[in-house]
């Protein structure tokens, strides 16, 4: 069953990768010619250097343009990219990758910059992995990077040569840049003193500047994109699973072996955070659910007692499980949108199992001495994979939970697995 489900997931990915999303847009060629088309909207996390498009949305042929031949492209009412040749410094803000010293190291590059605000003063961003930089231009000032650098300060006075690290400091030159070039009459120096180098703070500043003094209203592309983006979902869940516990004595002393099977029901919640890139196709989720597994089974085994009268004789047993827990799968999900209302998704999760007290009791009903066993349950964690379909507020998912050991007795192997269908309804 596990191999079949994994094969089904791979097939789903292969089929659904063809389900791309082309949206109404345009691009401007170097010659100045504007071409209306449908652009594959990948909601790029890192700034692109090329894009795919179709002349008609139902065309089978997909074409490509790149930064060499196109000066601008956009998706209607959502995003705009413009080509610039800029001086850029690419220092990182992650502590383990900080540069030594506050001075920027410039490189000349040709980039598609992503427009955030367009107006009297315009704001753009550039992203490459965990590197995020902001650029600005005004009617009188050409494009320029806003300089912000987290760096390791060097004490040159007490140790000549390479110096010694004093600590993490910040070069906040961007505040002076904005004070000089993006300041209107109602703004004071205090408005710049604590201005943060972040998307929301900078957008707010540029919108305020463009609205100052009756200036022409600006276009906030970030707001347009955010209005279309869902960021969080909360669902109630209920599911039915075929659960199984294989029970075995590794040493075969009691010659006890059986599988306990039961259809169980799970109820719970799912909180999902949709990641802010690639058109909401990736998300992170956690869905705590409660389950109870308490099957019983009568079975017959054969005694292996060479030299005794009951050797190879049938012995009767009853196996009874009592296992309840709260499972908390935490994982990642990939969506493949079929249209505005329906979607297919796959996910993988690490399942944290919070089990209470429990046991599996094997009882001999023939009165044999030392032929019964009480196995205490102490659950481990495991992984799970799922394949699902969603329509509007409803989700249905086939999920396979890989086996996990639930025995606290190292002399016994008790491996628990389950596969089932769970349904979800979005309440937020």
Tens digits of residue pLDDT in 183-228: 988 888 888 999 999 999 999 999 999 988 655 677 888 765 565 5
pLDDT at res. 16: 46
Per-residue pLDDT at 17 exceeds 50: no
- CATH code: domain 232-426 is 2.40.160
Q: Is the pLDDT assigned to residue 240 strictly greater than 80?
A: yes
Residue 298 confidence (pLDDT) above 50? yes
Q: How far is CA 406 from the centre of its chain?
A: 29
Q: Which long-range contacts (CB under 8 A, 24 or more apart) does 338-341 make?
A: 338/19, 341/391, 341/392
Percent of the chain with pLDDT over 90: 55
Spatial CB neighbours of 6, under 8 Å, sequence gap ≥ 6: 385
Residue pair 318/296 in contact by the 8 Å Cβ criterion: yes
Residue 163: pLDDT above 60? no
Least confidently predicted of 143-157, 163-177, 207-221, 286-300: 207-221
- 326-367 confidence digits (pLDDT tens): 999 999 999 988 877 889 999 999 999 987 778 988 888 777
Q: What is the pLDDT of residue 278?
A: 75
pLDDT of 157 > 80? The answer is no
Judged against a pLDDT cut of 70, whether residue 407 lies above it is answered with: yes
Task: Name every residue whose Cβ is closer than 8 Å to that of residue 95 and which is 6 or more positions away in sequence.
Answer: 150, 168
Structure confidence by residue, pLDDT tens digits, 357-401 = 789 888 887 776 666 888 898 888 999 999 999 998 999 999 999
What is residue 18's predicted lDDT score, i.e. its pLDDT?
43
Q: Quick check: 385 and 6 in contact, CB under 8 A?
A: yes
pLDDT score at 306: 61
Average pLDDT, the chain: 86
Edge to edge, the sheet with strand 99-100 lists: 99-100, 149-155, 164-171
Give residue 417's pLDDT: 94
**Predicted local confidence at residue 362, as pLDDT:** 85
Among 275-279, 304-308, 415-419, which range has the highest average pLDDT? 415-419
Domain locations in the chain as residue ranges? 77-228, 232-426
pLDDT band of 130, cuts 50, 70, 90 = confident
Q: Tokens for 368, please give them.
A: 């044999």
pLDDT at 426: 94
pLDDT attached to residue 103: 93
Position 129 scores a pLDDT of 85
Longest Cα–Cα distance in the chain: 105
**pTM for this structure?**
0.66
């Amino acid at each position: 069953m596990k191999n079949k489900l994994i094969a089904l997931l791979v097939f789903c990915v292969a089929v659904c990768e063809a389900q791309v999303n082309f949206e109404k847009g345009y691009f401007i060629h170097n010659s100045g010619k504007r071409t209306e088309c449908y652009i594959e909207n990948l909601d790029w996390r890192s700034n692109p250097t090329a894009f795919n498009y179709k002349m008609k949305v139902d065309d089978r042929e997909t074409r490509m343009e790149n930064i060499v031949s196109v000066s601008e492209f956009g998706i209607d009412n959502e995003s705009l990219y413009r080509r610039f040749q800029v001086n850029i410094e690419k220092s990182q803000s992650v502590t383990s990758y900080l540069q030594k010293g506050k001075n920027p190291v410039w490189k000349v590059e040709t980039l598609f910059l992503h427009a955030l605000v367009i107006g009297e003063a315009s704001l753009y961003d550039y992203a490459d992995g965990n590197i995020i930089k902001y650029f600005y231009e005004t009617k009188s000032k050409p494009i320029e990077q806003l300089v912000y650098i987290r760096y390791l300060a060097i004490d040159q006075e007490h140790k000549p040569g390479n110096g010694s690290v004093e600590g993490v400091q910040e070069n906040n030159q961007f505040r002076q840049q904005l004070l000089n070039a993006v300041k209107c009459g109602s703004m004071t120096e205090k408005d710049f003193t604590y201005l943060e180098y972040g998307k929301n703070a900078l957008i707010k500043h540029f919108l305020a500047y463009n609205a100052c003094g009756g200036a022409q209203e600006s276009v906030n592309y970030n707001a347009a994109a955010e209005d279309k983006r869902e960021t969080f979902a909360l669902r109630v869940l209920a599911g039915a699973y075929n659960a199984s516990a294989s029970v075995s004595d590794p040493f075969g002393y009691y010659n006890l072996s059986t599988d306990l099977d039961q259809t169980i029901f799970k109820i719970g919640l799912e909180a999902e955070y949709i990641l802010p890139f690639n058109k909401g196709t990736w998300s992170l989720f956690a869905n705590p659910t409660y389950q109870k597994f308490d099957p019983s089974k009568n079975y017959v085994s054969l005694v292996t007692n060479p030299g005794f009268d009951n050797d190879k004789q049938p012995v009767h047993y009853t196996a009874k499980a009592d296992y309840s827990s709260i499972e908390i799968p935490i994982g990642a999900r990939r969506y493949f949108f079929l249209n505005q209302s329906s979607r297919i998704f796959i996910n993988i999760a690490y399942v944290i199992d919070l089990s209470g007290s429990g046991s599996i009791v094997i009882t001999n009903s023939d009165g044999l001495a030392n032929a019964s066993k009480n196995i205490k349950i102490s659950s481990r964690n495991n992984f799970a994979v799922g394949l699902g379909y969603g329509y509007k507020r409803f989700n249905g998912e086939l999920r396979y939970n890989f086996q996990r050991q639930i025995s606290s007795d190292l002399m016994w192997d008790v491996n628990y697995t389950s596969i089932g269908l769970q349904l979800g309804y979005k309440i937020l």
